[in-house]
């Protein structure tokens, strides 16, 4: 099938709908249900982009006579990375960067894991050459399966937030956290739950470890990796309350299109076929799965490009507000817009540094440099909240006093057109713009985005700690020591000489 169209994606969802629950109801067809149909249509539009004649070469590549989404392409050169990065930004621009888990994010994951499949072959539970229990072969085949069918994946990383002071095995039920119950001839049976699956409106779910497992034993029931369809028997997604409440896109321009949903995932004795198992019981391999395959770096590269697109959207909206109400001559206004420009250029610089510093990894994959990506992964979550705040400061009360589209077309339409016009925009133009600013900065959609960005890469404290541990600080320490010990007769002499 290779690169699919939007209609093919919708048809596939109708045929094999994920097991979603929203507001106490099982969603039998996500393409028609009021809480999910708009997101399905947006995803369909995202898939249709790769078939637009002017974008075909930018978003797809040819391999074996088939065209695949370029996010599956194995980068062998820096130019390949450049092409992949440009494709990430094109896709991100479709949602103004507000679709946090677009399919290309997980595509980067399975590409890196598939090329680094040897990593999973180290697992003691693997049976190399055995067919369906050869974990390296399983991972390699899974990458090809997802690529060749252009599947949409979600993933679930963390255990339920029950008691952070205790290990998973110390919970009231040892299967609150997802764990292996038993092995069978067909595969492994797992039970428990995982948080948090963003974009559960997907074809399959990939379960990998994210946070470090704290079990003491080398063999742990909680260490696992696998991928299965989202309608697998015993698998359920309990979604949060929808943010898309059925309003006109002019009133809720982002929430009505890009409520990607979040869910916790329940595994009620789910059978994972051996051919879909990639890792089992090995705590050390589980804890290093993303770094050991360099998947974390290719995923981070997608995210950095996504955040560039999102920051550009904030800049464009901020300047549009300034242009509309004629406030650009004030220095405090210029200063606020300049803050966004600085953040944008920092992110663009980090992307360029990661790409230009790329090196082939042990699997022959051209891999972005870790240092700039680690900097971006720590910088953006710490500073993103300033972006919606700046829109609030620039728009002020204008982001509150916003009659709806129905109001503009109602009995007071003429008065609204008169009193809510802007110096350089009609009332309709101004209200559409300010509605977007509101959905970016103040709505429930915006609130979820702000928290999401804060923890997108993980706990910020742990992220800083991880950066401290991996960054090579010694050359700079040695430079300081050398300076302190240096003697140079041409430098300043002591005051008493």
Q: Answer for the pair 15, 226: CB distance below 8 angstroms, yes or no.
A: no
Rounded CA gap, 202 and 106, in Å? 11
Nearest to 152 by CA among 13, 343, 351: 13
Annotated binding residue 361: no
What residues form DSSP beta bridges with 360? 366
Q: Answer for the pair 311, 347: CB distance below 8 angstroms, yes or no.
A: yes
Rounded CA gap, 314 and 341, in Å? 10
Rounded CA gap, 373 and 380, in Å? 11
The size of the chain, in residues, is 497
Rounded CA gap, 457 and 16, in Å? 30
Annotated binding residue 376: no
Q: Residue for token digits 């430079």?
A: 479
Annotated binding residue 69: no
Longest pairwise C-alpha distance within the chain: 89
Strand, coil or helix: 153: strand
Annotated binding residue 164: yes
Annotated binding residue 157: yes
* Residue 328: how many other CB atoms lie within 10 Å: 12
Annotated binding residue 162: yes
Q: Output the six-digit token pair for 345.
A: 């250029």
Annotated binding residue 461: yes
The angle subtended at Cα 109 by Cα 53 and Cα 21, nearest 5°, is: 90
What residues form DSSP beta bridges with 235? 267
Annotated binding residue 198: yes
Nearest to 158 by CA among 97, 214, 105, 111: 214
Annotated binding residue 210: yes
Annotated binding residue 282: no
The CA-based dihedral angle spanning residues 141, 146, 147, 149, taken in that order and rounded to the nearest 10 degrees = 120
Annotated binding residue 460: yes
Annotated binding residue 441: no
Annotated binding residue 459: yes
> Per-residue DSSP letters for 81-107?
HHHHHHHHHHHHHHTTT--TT-HHHHH
Annotated binding residue 101: yes
DSSP H helices in 230-330: 255-258, 283-287, 289-293, 295-325
Annotated binding residue 156: yes
Q: Output the six-digit token pair for 337.
A: 């817009």
Rounded CA gap, 120 and 107, in Å? 18
Q: Is 416 left (phi over 0), alpha (psi -120 to 50) or beta?
A: alpha
User: Which residues are known binding-site members for FAD?
Assistant: 155-157, 161-164, 198, 459-462
User: Which residues are known binding-site members?
Assistant: 101-105, 155-157, 161-164, 198, 210-211, 459-462
User: Which residues are known binding-site members for substrate?
Assistant: 101-105, 155, 210-211
């Amino acid at each position: 099938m290779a690169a699919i169209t939007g209609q093919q994606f919708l048809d596939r969802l109708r045929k094999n709908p994920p097991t979603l629950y929203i507001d106490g109801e099982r969603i039998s067809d996500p393409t028609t249900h009021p809480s999910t149909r708009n997101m399905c249509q947006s995803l369909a539009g995202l898939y249709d982009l790769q078939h637009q004649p002017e974008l075909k070469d930018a978003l797809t590549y040819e391999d074996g006579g088939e065209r695949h989404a370029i996010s599956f392409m194995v980068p062998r050169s820096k130019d390949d990375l450049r092409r992949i990065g440009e494709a990430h930004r094109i896709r991100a621009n479709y949602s103004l960067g507000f679709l946090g888990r677009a399919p290309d994010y997980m595509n980067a994951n399975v590409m890196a894991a598939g090329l680094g499949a040897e990593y999973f072959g180290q697992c003691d539970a693997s049976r190399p050459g055995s067919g369906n229990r050869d974990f390296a072969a399983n991972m390699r085949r899974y990458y090809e399966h997802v690529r060749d069918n252009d599947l949409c994946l979600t993933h679930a990383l963390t255990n339920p937030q029950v008691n952070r002071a205790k290990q998973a095995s110390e919970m009231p039920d040892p299967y609150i956290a997802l764990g292996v119950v038993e092995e069978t001839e067909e595969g492994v049976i797992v039970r428990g739950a995982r948080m948090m699956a963003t974009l559960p409106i997907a074809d399959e779910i990939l379960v990998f470890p994210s946070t470090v497992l704290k079990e003491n034993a080398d063999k742990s029931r909680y260490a696992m990796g696998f991928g299965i369809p989202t309608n697998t028997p015993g698998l359920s997604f309990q979604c949060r309350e929808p943010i898309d409440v059925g309003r006109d896109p002019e009133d809720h321009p982002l929430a009505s299109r890009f409520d990607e949903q979040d869910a916790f995932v329940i595994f009620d004795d789910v059978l994972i076929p051996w051919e879909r198992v990639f890792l089992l019981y090995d705590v050390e391999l589980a804890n290093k799965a993303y770094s050991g395959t360099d998947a974390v770096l290719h995923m981070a590269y997608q995210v950095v490009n996504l955040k560039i697109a999102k920051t550009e959207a904030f800049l464009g909206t901020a300047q549009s507000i300034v242009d509309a109400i004629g406030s650009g001559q004030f220095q405090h206004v210029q200063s606020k817009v300049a803050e966004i420009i600085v953040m944008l250029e920092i992110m663009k610089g980090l992307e360029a540094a990661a790409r230009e510093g790329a090196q082939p990894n042990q699997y022959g994959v051209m891999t972005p440099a870790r240092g700039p990506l680690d900097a971006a992964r720590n910088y953006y979550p710490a500073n993103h909240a300033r972006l919606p705040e700046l829109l609030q400061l620039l728009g002020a009360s204008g982001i509150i006093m916003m009659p709806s589209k129905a109001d503009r077309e109602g009995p007071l339409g003429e008065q609204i057109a008169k009193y809510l016009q802007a110096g350089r925009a009609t009332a309709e133009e101004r209200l559409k713009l300010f509605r977007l600013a509101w959905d970016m900065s103040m709505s429930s959609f915006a609130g979820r985005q702000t928290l999401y960005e804060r923890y997108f890469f993980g706990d910020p404290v742990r992220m800083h700690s991880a950066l401290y541990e991996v960054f090579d600080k010694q050359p700079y320490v040695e430079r300081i020591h050398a300076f302190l010990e240096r003697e140079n007769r041409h430098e300043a002499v002591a005051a008493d000489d």
